[in-house]
Amino acid sequence: MPFETLDVVTSSPVLLPSGRVHEQLYVADGALTKGGHFDEGVMYIGGMGQRKKFPPLPQYPTRQDALKAIKEFEPIFSGFPFVDPETETKPLETTSYSCALAGILSLVARPHLGISAIPIIGSSAPMRRSGKTKIPEACSMAALGHKPTTAHYHSEEELGKFLVPLMQAGDRCIVIDNIERPLQSSKLCILITNGMLDDRILGKSEDIFLKNFSVIFATGNNLTFGGDLSARALRIDIDPGQERPESRAFSFDPVARAQELHPQLCIAALTCLRAFLLAKMPWETSRQRWGGFERWDSLICGTLLWLGYADPFDARERIIKDDPIRQTNQDLLEVWFEEYGEQIVNLGKIRRDKGDTYEQLLREGEWNGYFARTILRRLQGQFINGYRLVRAGGRSSFQVLRTGEQIGMEEVAGFKEPPAKDPPF
């Protein structure tokens, strides 16, 4: 006889795969009760030793209920100087603030979304001690009632070693903190988009398959995402606008306030999501859904757009522009086109000419034909800022075409997963 899989253990109510919340949690007065309940692969253990009384969740919340509920997060985040670079939008009207709200909604909705892709959410500031780490901490505290698990990024290899124990522990919220270089990781890309980690346990010849039920955040000064990870990321930007941001005076600690208000903030997030699901998930924008993240986009971005907030997806453009790998590739294509136009060129000619394209393909100041060919093969077929490199016969002949279209990296690196069916209620 097959048994149902236990996927998530939680001390706070969550959105179940069906779109409901545990029915067993409710008592006569509408308050959430303590105790252990298993439903739809989720084990709810009320309080986990803590005395938390959650306010009642409306059985059939409306858009008005959701509009009131979403405002409950403002006392937590109103002190953060959210910005959208190159605009003068008010802090709580920015895409950066919407990305913070998306983090909270994602944590509450993770069991509902299953192992489908959720983007990594970055938190960036131009200088130290600006409060960038407090944002994911406040998100975790508001949604889950505890701080996130912290990991560090020293290299792609080291981060890969951390992922297995993090997935084994079933951590709901993970923060890769204080990143000092462009964040890139092929293993993290696979984990985010595939929802599964197929790896070996460190020190053992044993394969392991782990599901990803986490929401992953990253923080850093002028944080950038490199390579394919930039097509799987959002970013919250804050800017205190002063030399010593640690000297700012706050009347409260946003993380402590989120912990204090956790029960009502958790229910507020559920109210927003439930109201949107009951409204049949209207799509309030003309853009197409984010390839590879359709379920998350439909639910999380859809809820925020429905409630009149900025679209978190709009933060994608600045991530793409700041990607150092993409910028390097763009520089190469622009220099190539300026030097050769659309003519077919092989590496031998580039080496003989020793022009600007040659300089772009050097490795540590030296010419290496294998390295140059590898760079071009990885780049071929991509659309970057209106240019495209194509193979033109032979092992080392290429051509740069001017497409006239500026296409974001997600058009190349993203993949399409089949759209999810609307859940039963």
Is 266 among the domain residues? yes
Asked if 98 contacts 236 with a C-beta cutoff of 8 angstroms, the reply is no
Indicate the number of domains in the chain.
2
Which of 321, 344, 364 finishes a domain?
321
Nearest CA to 9 out of 214, 275, 209, 300 is that of 214
Q: Does 33 map to a domain? A: no
Give, in degrees to the nearest 5, the angle at Cα 174 between 105 and 266: 30
What one-character DSSP code corresponds to residue 129? T
Tokens of 291: 């390839």
Among 321, 351, 386, give the residue marking a domain's end. Answer: 321
- pLDDT higher than threshold 60 for residue 151: yes
Phi-psi region of 47 (alpha: psi -120 to 50; beta: other; left: phi over 0): left
pLDDT of 244 higher than 70: no
- Residue 417 maps to a domain: no
Summarised one tens digit per residue, pLDDT across range 128-144 is: 777 899 999 999 999 99
- How big, in percent rounded to 5, are the helix, strand and coil portions of the chain? 40, 15, 40
What is the spatial distance between Cα 280 and Cα 282, in angstroms, rounded to a whole number?
6
Contact 119, 191 (CB under 8 A): no
Task: Kindly report which listed range (192-196, 199-203, 391-395) carries the lowest average pLDDT score.
Answer: 199-203
Residue 21 lies in a domain: no
Q: According to the model, what pLDDT value does residue 172 have? A: 92
> Is residue 198 scored above 80 in pLDDT?
no
pTM of the model: 0.80
Contact by Cβ (8 Å): 400, 389: yes
- 336 and 296 within one domain: no
Using the 3D structure, point to which of 303, 321, 339 is the last residue of a domain.
321
342 and 317 within one domain: no
- Take residue 46 and report the two structure tokens written for it: 């009320």
Residue 162's pLDDT is 80
Sheet strands (E) in 311-382: 345-346
> Average model confidence (pLDDT) for the chain?
85
Q: pLDDT band at residue 161, thresholds of 50, 70 and 90? A: confident
Asked if 294 and 355 sit in the same domain, the reply is no
- Looking at the fold, whether 149 and 134 belong to one and the same domain comes out as yes
Query: Quick one: average pLDDT of 57-77?
Result: 96
d(CA 61, CA 66): 7
Q: Which residues contact 230 (CB under 8 A, 6 or more apart)?
A: 224, 319, 320, 322, 323, 325, 326, 409, 413
Q: Is the pLDDT of residue 413 over 60?
A: no
328 and 317, same structural domain? no
* Same domain flag for 312 and 377: no
Q: pLDDT confidence of 383, banded at 50, 70, 90?
A: confident
> Is 3 among the domain residues?
no
**Is the domain of 139 the same as that of 229?**
yes
Alpha-carbon distance 377 to 380, whole Å?
5
| HSE-CB of 172 using CA atoms within 13 angstroms | 27
In a shared domain, residues 184 and 289: yes
One domain, residues 312 and 332: no
Same domain for 344 and 201: no
Between 245 and 193, residue with greater pLDDT: 193
Domain that holds residue 251: 53-321
Q: What one-character DSSP code corresponds to residue 144?
A: H
Contact criterion met (CB below 8 Å) for 228 and 186: yes
Task: Write out the DSSP string of 209-260.
Answer: EEE---EEEEEEET--B-GGGGGGEEEEEB---SS-GGG---SS-HHHHHHH
Do 261 and 316 lie in one domain? The reply is yes
Identify the DSSP state of 409.
Answer: T
What contacts 144, CB < 8 A, 6 or more positions away?
Answer: 10, 11, 12, 107, 172, 173, 262, 266
CA-to-CA distance for 27 and 89, rounded, in angstroms? Answer: 44
Does residue 25 lie within any of the structural domains? no
Across 283-291, average pLDDT: 93
Residue 250 has pLDDT above 70, yes or no: no
Q: Is residue 254 part of a domain?
A: yes
Instruction: State whether 207 and 247 are in the same domain.
Output: yes
Written as one string, the DSSP assignment of 45-57 is EGGGGS---PPPP
Q: What is the pLDDT of residue 263?
A: 93
Q: What is the mean pLDDT of residues 13-23?
A: 89
Q: What does the pLDDT average to over 313-325?
A: 86
Q: Is 37 helix (H, G, I), strand (E, B) or coil?
A: strand
pLDDT tens-digit map of 38-59: 888 888 876 544 557 888 899 8
Is the residue at 95 inside a domain? yes
419: which 2 tokens? Answer: 């759209």
203 contacts: CB under 8 Å, gap ≥ 6: none
